[in-house]
Amino acid sequence: MTELKTETITINMGPQHPSTHGVFRLILTLDGETVVDVEPVVGYLHRNHEKIGEKNNWIQNTPFTDRLDYISPMSNEFAYVLAVEKLAEIEPPERAKYIRIIMVELNRIVNHMIAVGFLLNELGCFFTPMFYCLRWRELVVDLYEMTAGSRMMPNYFWIGGVSADLPEKFLPECKEFVDAVPGFIDELERLLTDNEILQMRCRNVGVLPPDVAVEYGCTGPLLRASGVPYDIRKAEPYSIYDRFDFDIAAGTVGDVLDRYLVRIAEMRQSAKIVEQALRDLPEGETATPKKRKFRPPEGDVYHRIEAPKGELGFYLVSDGSENPYRYKIRAPSFVNLQSLPYMCRGHKIADVVIIIGSIDITMGEVDR
């Protein structure tokens, strides 16, 4: 009796499953409750985003980028707009640059709140932390609506600036929000970080060693939790990130717990950045004059930013016409998802769920 022969069972997790963050299917091979193999199946939400991008003209693409990672629309717009500006060599006004930073960092807070909230929800907290987090997201989307007119699909960033100046009430409310964020995060941490069950569940689950993370091309909090302090905001500062003082949070082990802690630490840092940006916000114009169409020079460009989920890059090829010749997105969720089978093998089925939650994917971005 050296080994008991057991039979594996195959389970289809998804496309309709409560915790696959959208329409995502996993084919799990289980030995009892232990995961032997995982095969992710993506593409249920595919909607020809890149092809549509080639049909639209350069300006018309911004509202479509909102639909990529619908949790953090501002970051998507930011990446696209920066890429086009790099291609066409447009310099937005100073005030617009600061406004962009404020929006994008607020977006990072929102995204991490959603990520942490859903992770805890998948741990079985019955929506409580999620509702607390959603409440704070609500405050941010209110700020978005106040400024841009739409909560989830703001279409706020323009090529060469932002679509409208900040409304009067924005500054005091944003200041109040940013001041309140650390208190809220403290409360969230008091709620669950020290919780024995959470510690038990997350510790040493889904470990991704740094070298493996790099090999898989993981970026964002996933990579930083593995102990690689790589952040594009620091590594190759774009826009005006070199003017702000902030730290990169890095984990030590690379498990789910580290990702949770890294996200929480990043929220604090983002609040710090917004505070500095609000302090230094200059007066002046917010956009270069608006046009219906414009033709960037021929050439190609790749621009990447540190989106909340990782490296978000736009590769654009221009043939000098009104439309992009090629419009390619390097989506962080899609790349980060590749490491899922590696992390899941040997764990229990309940761990698969929290590992997915800790990667923080949005299917809109994975499938495009």
Partner 1 sequence: MLGFGILKGMSVTLRRFVDTYVGDLGKFPWRYRSRPVYKRMGITERGAFTIQYPEERVAMFPRYRGPLMLLTDPEKGITRCIGCGLCERTCPTESIKVTRAEEKVDDQRVPETYEYDMNTCMFCGFCVQICPQDALGHSPELEMGTYSKGDALILNLDQMLELGRKHAPGGVWPLEKEAEPS
Partner 2 sequence: MEAIQGILEFIDQIFVKLSFWFSAQLANFLPDWGVTFIMMFATVLVLIVFGLASIIWINVFERKIIGRIQDRYGPNRFGPWGLLQCVADMIKLLTKEDVTPTKADRLIFNLAAVAPVIPTFMILAVLPFGRGMVAADLSIGYLYIVAVGCLGTIAIFMAGWSSRNKYALLGGMRTVAQMISYEIPMVLSVVGVLLLVGSLSMVSIVEAQGQWRLPFVVLQPLAFVLYFTAAVAEVNRSPFDLPEGESEIVAGYHTEYSGIKFAMFLLAEYINAFSICAIATTVFLGGWQGPILPSWAWFFIKTYFLYFVLIWMRGTLPRLRVDQLMNFSWKTLVPLALANLMLTALVAKLVPQYSHVGAIAFLVMNVVVIVCIALVKYPRWRRDRREVVLVPRTATPQVDSS
Partner 3 sequence: MSVEQVVFLVLAVAAVGSAVGVVISRNIFYSALLLVACLFIVAGFYVLLEAPFLAAVQVLIYVGAIAVLIIFAIMLTERMMSKTVRGWNEQWWIALIVTVCLVAVMLYVVVTANWQVSDAATPSDAIVALGQTLLSTYVLPFEVASVILLMALIGAIIIAREEEPVGVVGEQKEEER
| Residues in contact with partner 1 by the rule CB under 8 A | 56, 59-60, 62-64, 128, 132, 135, 138-139, 142, 145-150, 153, 155, 163-164, 167, 173, 176-177, 180, 187, 190-199, 290, 292
* Under rule CB under 8 A, residue 201 binds partner 2: yes
Q: Which residue has the tokens 């021929």?
A: 298
Select from partner 2, partner 3, partner 1, none the partner in contact with residue 187, using the beta carbon and a kind-dependent cut-off of 5 to 8 Å: partner 1
Q: How far is the CB of 41 from partner 3 (least distance, A)?
A: 22
253 near partner 2, judged by CB under 8 A = yes
CB atoms within 10 A of CB 6: 9
Q: How far is the CB of 224 from partner 3 (least distance, A)?
A: 20
CA distance 307 to 77: 10
- Does 195 engage in binding with partner 2 (CB under 8 A)? yes
For partner 2, the binding residue among 69, 105, 351, 365 (CB under 8 A) is 351
180 binds, among partner 3, partner 2, partner 1, none (CB under 5 to 8 A by kind): partner 1
The option from partner 2, partner 1, partner 3, none interacting with 31 (CB < 5 to 8 A, set by class) reads none
Rounded to a whole number of angstroms, the distance between the first and last alpha carbons of the chain is 51
Q: How far apart are CA 44 and CA 364, in angstroms?
A: 10
CA distance 38 to 341: 5
The entry of partner 1, partner 3, partner 2, none near residue 279 (CB within 5 to 8 angstroms by kind) is: none
Task: Enumerate the β-bridge partners of residue 324.
Answer: 318
345 interacts with partner 3 by CB under 8 A: yes
Beta-sheet pairing, 157-158 with 34-41:
unpaired
Which residues from 200-239 bind partner 3, rule CB under 8 A? 207, 212
Of 77, 122, 360, 365, the one binding partner 2 by CB under 8 A: 122
Give the integer Cα–Cα distance in Å for 58 and 41: 32
CB 60 within 8 A of CB 281: no
Nearest distance, CB of residue 239 and partner 1, angstroms: 23
C-alpha distances in Å from residue 270, one per residue of 64, 69, 107, 168, 305: 25, 19, 9, 23, 15
CB proximity list for 120: less than 8 A, separation 6 or greater: 129, 130, 192, 198
The least CB distance from residue 340 to partner 3, in Å, is 14
Stretch that binds partner 2, among 46-54, 169-177, 197-205, 323-331 (CB under 8 A): 197-205
The whole-angstrom separation of Cα 244 and Cα 55 is 38
Side chain identity at 29, as an amino acid letter?
T
Residue 170 is a binding residue for partner 3 (CB under 8 A): no
Residue 14 binds which entry of partner 1, partner 2, partner 3, none, CB below 5-8 Å type-dependent: none
Q: Which does 250 bind (CB under 5 to 8 A by kind): partner 3, partner 1, partner 2, none?
A: partner 2
Give the nearer residue to partner 3 in terms of CB position, either 304 or 347. 347
Element containing residue 47 per DSSP (H, E): none
Establish if 368 lies at the interface with partner 3 (CB under 8 A): no
The CB-of-156 to partner 3 minimum distance in angstroms stands at 44
Cα pseudo-dihedral 209, 213, 214, 216, rounded to 10:
140
Distance CA 337, CA 177 (A): 32
Instruction: Pick between residue 23 and residue 192 the one whose CB is nearest to partner 2.
Output: 192
* Contact status: 342 vs partner 3 (CB under 8 A): yes
Q: How many CB atoms are located within 10 Å of the residue 90 CB?
A: 16
Rounded CA separation 327/301 (Å) = 10
State both tokens at 95. 């005030």
Minimum distance, C-beta of residue 70 to partner 2, in the bound complex (Å): 21
For partner 1, the closer of residues 56 and 338 by Cβ is 56
Nearer to partner 3, 4 or 283 (CB): 4
Max Cα distance, the chain (Å):
80
Instruction: Return residues touching partner 3 (CB under 8 A).
Output: 1-4, 7, 207, 212, 342, 345-347
